[in-house]
């Protein structure tokens, strides 16, 4: 009869203490491994969709006429399009 009491105490210890502690430690190790693997990889590239905003600095006089290839002064729509490409 005393052997059965020791068996029940051992079973209660395993189910009440060892199993929860081991599951928490296992989950922590799994998360630690996953996070360390993610930290070692480069960030994934993202593809932009939708509207975009850009700030382009243009020095010169803004004109609406055609581009004059003999002059470096003045900003025309054609020159801006050429700079953006």
Residue 26 lies in a domain: yes
Residue 67 lies in a domain: yes
Percent of the chain with pLDDT over 70: 78
Structural domain harbouring 66: 53-85
Rg (CA), the chain: 35
Average confidence (pLDDT) over 51-76: 69
Average pLDDT, the chain: 78
Does residue 61 have a pLDDT over 70?
yes
**Number of domains into which the chain is organized:** 2
Residue 47 lies in a domain: no
The per-residue pLDDT for 78 is 77
Written in H, E and C, the secondary structure of 1-69 is CHHHHHHHHHHHHHHHHHHHHHHHHHHHHHHHHHHHHHHHCCCCCCCCCCCCCCCCCCCCCECCCCCCC
Higher pLDDT, 78 or 23: 23
Same domain? 4 vs 28: yes
Average confidence (pLDDT) over 37-47: 72
Residue 48 lies in a domain: no
């Amino acid at each position: 009869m005393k052997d059965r009491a020791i068996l029940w105490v051992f079973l209660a210890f395993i189910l009440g203490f060892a199993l929860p502690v081991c599951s928490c430690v296992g989950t922590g190790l799994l998360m630690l491994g996953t996070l360390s693997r993610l930290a070692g990889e480069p960030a994934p590239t993202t593809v932009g969709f939708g509207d975009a905003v850009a700030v382009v600095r243009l020095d010169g006089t803004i004109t609406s006429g055609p581009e004059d290839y003999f002059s470096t002064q003045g900003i025309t729509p054609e020159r801006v399009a050429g700079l953006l490409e």
